Amino acid sequence: MKNRTLLFLMTEDTADAEVHQMAEYAVSENAHLVCFLLSRIPTQPMNAHGAFPYGGYEISDHWVEEVNSARDRLKVRQDALEALLQYEGVSAEVQFVLSSQPDVRVVVARRALVCDVAIASKSLRVAEDGLFRPALYGVLFDAPVGLMLNATPIANPKRIFVAWDTELPAARAIHAALPLLKQADEVIVGSFDPVAQEYEDGENPGSDLAKWLSHHGCKVTVNQYPSGGEIIGAAIQRRAAEIGADLVVMGAYGKSRLRELVFGGTTHHMIIQTETPVFMAH
């Protein structure tokens, strides 16, 4: 990912070792690293009591102190990260956001508008403040870039498995991941339960994608897999592991997001799993 801007979504608890790995990768790729430190603002207490209509609204002094304390803590962490990155000699910046849960999606999306790819840290996934999903949705639904999960320590993948279904989200993911695909030694295009008809998945599903990628210099092979009743997300993981893929590229939320959350689905499965590095876009 030469000369690109990497948006690293992190929390206060992101280990220095993980930041160090991102910095090393950015240096090796002549990339600019943006460490975007996300934190949830303390909940504002609400008191209801007898009062005149349209009366004044009182903000708790204790809550203001909590917010100021959180902001000071983030500033200390920001300074420490800036010192670490300066020592690494990487082109980088550190920004922090103290925000409510719903607003995280907005601020992440806005920052991602002028980046090339977003990478979620391990700590963002396990944080108990509920910011993981809003941050992901900000990238996937409101920004023109791809999102990488389970990808730290980051490295240029040598063998990439592309989960292809002739849908727009998958095509967008492949376009966004093209710099990685062009650098890979091998790209395997896999279709699961394809309908081999001209107006469905094509007479030879995946061959048109392979031809296009080959024009970009990619070494591509195409496989069609029967799922055998296995959920597609698990099938993707299994096939990727069998071929020794370093990364899975796939479209996200080809179906309704609500439907996936309630009934499960390929995207939901690939988001909650923690073993397989994945690059996705919507």
* Contact criterion met (CB below 8 Å) for 25 and 88: no
Band of residue 63 on the pLDDT scale cut at 50, 70, 90: confident
pLDDT tens-place string over residues 86-119: 999 999 999 999 999 999 999 999 999 999 999 9
pLDDT given for residue 129 in this prediction: 84
Band of residue 263 on the pLDDT scale cut at 50, 70, 90: very low
Q: What is the dihedral of CA 203, 208, 211, 216, to 10 degrees?
A: -170
Say if residue 144 is in the same domain as residue 164: no
How many domains is the chain built from? 2
Q: Residue range 64-80: average pLDDT?
A: 95
Domain assignment present for residue 123? The answer is yes
What does the angle CA 145 – CA 160 – CA 18 come to, to the nearest 5 degrees? 65
What does the angle CA 104 – CA 254 – CA 213 come to, to the nearest 5 degrees? 105
Say if residue 139 is in the same domain as residue 9: yes
Say if residue 255 is in the same domain as residue 217: yes
Q: Residue range 36-52: average pLDDT?
A: 78
pLDDT tens-place string over residues 221-230: 999 999 999 9
pLDDT at 259 over 60: no
Domain assignment present for residue 55? The answer is no
Within a 10 A sphere around the Cβ of 271, how many other Cβ atoms?
A: 24
Domain assignment present for residue 145? The answer is yes
The enclosing domain of 141 has a CATH number of: 3.40.50.620
Say if residue 95 is in the same domain as residue 115: yes
- 0.85 exceeded by the pTM? yes
Strand 220-225 relative to strand 32-40: parallel, antiparallel, unpaired? Answer: unpaired
Q: Which residues pair with 188 in a beta bridge?
A: 161, 221
Q: Residue range 267-281: average pLDDT?
A: 96
Which residue range forms the structural domain that includes residue 217?
A: 159-281
Question: Which residues have C-beta within 8 Å of that of residue 275, sequence separation ≥ 6?
Answer: 150, 237
Say if residue 242 is in the same domain as residue 271: yes
Determine the residue type at 141. Answer: F
Residue 57 or 81, more confident:
81
pLDDT given for residue 135 in this prediction: 98
